[in-house]
Amino acid sequence: MKLGLDPATVKGFLDPHEGEALIEAARTQARKGPVLEIGGYCGKSALYLGAACAEAGELLFSVDHHRGSEENQPGWDYFDAEVWDEKAEAVDTLPFFRETIRRAGLEGTVVSIVGRSIDIARRWRTPLSLVLIDGGHTMEHALNDYRGWSPHLMAGGVLAIHDVFPDPADGGRPPFEIYKRAVASDLFAEENAVKSLRLLRRL
Ligand code: SAH
Ligand code: MG
């Protein structure tokens, strides 16, 4: 599927093969209802999911407070000085996200929701066809995302989890922990695994 924009020109943390797997799943899912991602950052995953939603005439909701995760803060491994807002004295990825969506021609498809994932999850009412969890990587945030958003998946919906690393040497534990919980719960069956992306079907 043709993207409106070369993903290599967008800051972010998604491998192109993972992006392709997301598109493939979202193309079918978006015909059944809206898609939602937690963790928009500069719009890389939204570029893929949004393309699939546009094709289906559906919406992608992208949840992010746009202040960055722990690892995006000054002094940490994934800090990027270009996304530092001097006035706010904080990370601000929202202008970058917006620019990506505009360049990709997805302004009518991608709806940005700026706020904390847990606050939005608690008030959410619309069944979702696919949810990508790619937000905060502490155990607290990963668990909040899993517990807060998985009940909003429709039957037959897809739960996608990014940064799942079975080997601790490759990365942090929390996304792997929620993946294990989902699979152990009998509510989800694993369907696809590409690099650190896992796609589970809500039964
Ligand atoms: N999906 C993106 C990467 C997301 S990085 C890509 O494809 O490149 C993780 C994002 O999660 C960061 O932008 C951070 O601001 C956001 N985030 C972390 N904790 C959050 C929370 N509790 N609520 C909302 N957003 C959060
Ligand atoms: Mg990620």
pLDDT tens by residue, 57-109: 999 999 999 999 999 999 999 999 999 999 999 999 999 999 999 999 999 99
Atom of ligand 1 nearest to the CA of 64: 25
Contacts of 14 by beta carbon, 8 Å cutoff, 6+ apart:
7, 22, 44, 45, 48, 134, 162
Q: How many CB atoms lie within 10 A of CB 95?
A: 12
Catalytic position from the list 17, 65, 66, 137: 137
Is pLDDT above 90 for 2? no
Scan for tokens 């999850």, then name that residue: 121
Q: Which residues' Cβ are closer than 6 Å to ligand 1?
A: 12-14, 39, 41, 44-45, 63-69, 93, 116-117, 134-136, 141
Residue 132 CA, ligand 1 centroid: distance in Å: 11
Residue 57 CA, ligand 1 centroid: distance in Å: 25
- pTM equals 0.98
Scan for tokens 């155990």, then name that residue: 139
**Residue 33 per-residue DSSP state:** S
